[in-house]
């Protein structure tokens, strides 16, 4: 017959040493489980001589109650420390900074347009806009572009109906502005333009231009040059130079093409010139009294040069990985 005191001491030591609830369950099975020494001894009580049975059974039962009581107590202890652990680990620090939400920014073309606008607003220019669906008269005729000019061909222009087209440049806004006000004029006209072009790395059937127009008494090519020098430095850097080459546009005389210094060479950035007297007369200005200059630049081209964008299509694909690199946010 096993000694109940030895059983008790051994069992209580195991219970107290159980480090967690799973280990305690193992101790329960090993001490009061079906095949543990104590229940086995209780079953053997019947084999004892009758006069010993009562006392032995009583001692074993008391021992079992003592072990079970300690098991219950230890279980409560372990449960409450498990709960304390969970509470400590799952605690939320409400003072931690929140996780930033991804947010959008302005498209690089919008940024570029706004920067160009700001440069001219700072010089006192106004911003004028015109419709994208234009008359043939405003887009061509009033700008001194003859009927046989290649730009008027179906291969270059998207015609809407007879005499109506999608403007091929922002120059018709010049005509609208001069038709609506007397000199002096100092405006820029940003906007979308359309050409019947096949898309490739440098062409898009829809793109953006900024037109500029200044008309007053005594305006000369020197004003144009000074203006363009200032604008170029603000757009590309103080160290930049410009170079004027002679060019041809029907609405300016003389016409120039303007390059900006680029490393060891030059990059063409815009077309410009002194407004042709025929254009002034078309809108009813007295070309013996006022003169002016005009210029036109492509916003895509400026953005591509400034950011080293190799393909105009990247500006329209809306790949967020590309846009995010050039985002202002």
What DSSP state is assigned to residue 179? H
CB 175 within 8 A of CB 142: yes
- 136, 296, 303, 326: residue in contact with ligand DAH (rule CB under 6 A): 296
CB 269 within 8 A of CB 297: yes
Residues 159-188 that bind ligand DAH (CB under 6 A): 169, 171
Asked if 252 contacts 275 with a C-beta cutoff of 8 angstroms, the reply is yes
For residue 111, the minimal CB distance to ligand DAH (Å) is 22
- The residue with tokens 């299509």 is 313
Indicate the residue among 36 and 275 with the shorter CB distance to ligand DAH: 275
Residue 286: count of CB within 10 angstroms of its CB: 10
Query: CB 215 → ligand DAH: shortest distance, Å?
Result: 12
Q: Which stretch binds ligand DAH (CB under 6 A): 39-47, 154-162, 265-273, 304-312?
A: 265-273
Comparing CA positions, the residue from 146, 314, 101, 127 lying closest to residue 212 is: 127
Question: Which tokens belong to 84?
Answer: 């304390």
Q: Which secondary-structure segment (H or E) carries 113?
A: helix 108-122
- Count of alpha carbons within 13 Å of 308, Cβ hemisphere only? 2
Identify which of residues 211 and 259 has a Cβ nearer to ligand DAH in the complex.
211
Nearer to ligand DAH, 236 or 251 (CB): 251
**Quick one: which segment of 70-78, 158-166, 289-297, 320-328 binds ligand DAH (CB under 6 A)?**
289-297
The tokens 């700008």 sit on which residue?
143
From 38-46, 86-94, 228-236, 290-298, span contacting ligand DAH (CB under 6 A): 290-298
With CB under 6 A as the rule, give the number of residues binding ligand DAH.
11
Rounded least distance, CB 296 to ligand DAH, Å? 2
Instruction: List the x/- string, 230-259, binding to ligand DAH by CB under 6 A.
Output: -------------------x--x-------
144: Cα within 13 Å, side-chain hemisphere: 16
Among 136, 186, 295, 301, binds ligand DAH (CB under 6 A): 295
Q: Residue 57 is inside which H or E element, if any?
A: helix 50-89
- With CB under 6 A as the contact rule, the residue among 215, 271, 285, 326 that binds ligand DAH is 271
Instruction: For 311, list phi and psi in degrees, rounded to 5.
Output: -140, 125
- Is the Cβ of residue 152 or residue 169 nearer to ligand DAH in the bound state? 169
Of the pair 48, 151, the CB lying nearest ligand DAH is at: 151
Q: Which stretch binds ligand DAH (CB under 6 A): 104-112, 217-225, 268-276, 320-328?
A: 268-276
**Phi, psi of 181, rounded to the nearest 5 degrees:** -150, 155
Q: Which is nearer to ligand DAH, 12 or 175 (CB)?
A: 175
Of 140 and 236, the one with the shorter C-beta distance to ligand DAH is 140
Contacts of 183 (CB under 8 A, 6+ apart): 215, 216, 217, 285, 290, 292
Determine if 273 is a binding residue for ligand DAH (CB under 6 A): yes
C-alpha 163/C-alpha 161 separation (Å) is 6
d(CA 180, CA 167): 19
Task: Tell whether residue 227 is a contact of ligand DAH (CB under 6 A).
Answer: no
Cβ-closest position to ligand DAH: 296
Shortest Cβ distance from residue 211 to ligand DAH (Å)?
A: 5
Report whether 243 contacts 258 (CB < 8 A): yes
Selected range binding ligand DAH among 114-122, 123-131, 270-278, 318-326, rule: CB under 6 A = 270-278
Q: Which residue has the tokens 């016409």?
A: 255
Residues that bind ligand DAH (CB under 6 A): 169, 171, 211, 249, 252, 271-273, 294-296
């Amino acid at each position: 017959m096993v000694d109940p005191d030895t059983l008790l001491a051994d069992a209580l030591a195991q219970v107290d040493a159980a480090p967690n609830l799973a280990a305690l369950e193992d101790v329960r099975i090993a001490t009061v489980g079906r095949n543990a020494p104590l229940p086995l001894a209780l079953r053997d009580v019947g084999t004892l001589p009758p006069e010993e049975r009562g006392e032995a059974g009583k001692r074993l039962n008391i021992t079992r109650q003592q072990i079970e009581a300690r098991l219950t107590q230890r279980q409560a202890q372990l449960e409450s420390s498990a709960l304390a652990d969970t509470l400590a680990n799952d605690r939320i620090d409400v003072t931690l900074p929140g996780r930033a939400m991804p947010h959008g920014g302005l498209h690089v073309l919008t940024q570029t347009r706004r920067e160009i606008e700001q440069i001219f607003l700072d010089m006192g220019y106004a911003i004028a806009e015109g419709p994208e669906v234009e008359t043939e008269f405003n887009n061509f005729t009033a700008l001194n572009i003859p009927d046989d000019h290649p730009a008027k061909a179906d291969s270059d222009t998207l015609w809407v109906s007879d005499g109506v087209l999608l403007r091929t440049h922002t120059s018709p806004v010049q005509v609208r502005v001069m038709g609506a006000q007397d000199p002096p004029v100092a405006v820029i006209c940003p906007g979308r333009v359309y050409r019947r072009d096949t898309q490739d790395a440098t062409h898009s059937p829809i793109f953006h231009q900024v037109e500029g127009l200044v008309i007053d008494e005594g305006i000369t090519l020197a004003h144009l040059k000074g203006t363009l020098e200032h604008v170029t430095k603000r757009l590309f850097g103080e160290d930049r130079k410009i170079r004027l080459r002679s060019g041809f546009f029907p609405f300016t005389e003389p016409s120039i093409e303007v390059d900006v210094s680029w490393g060891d060479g030059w990059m063409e950035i815009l077309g410009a010139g002194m407004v042709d007297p025929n254009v002034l007369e078309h809108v009813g200005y007295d070309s013996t009294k006022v003169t002016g200059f005009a210029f036109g630049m492509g916003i895509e081209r400026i953005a591509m040069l400034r950011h080293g964008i190799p393909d105009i299509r990247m500006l329209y694909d809306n790949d967020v990985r590309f846009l995010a690199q050039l985002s202002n946010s």
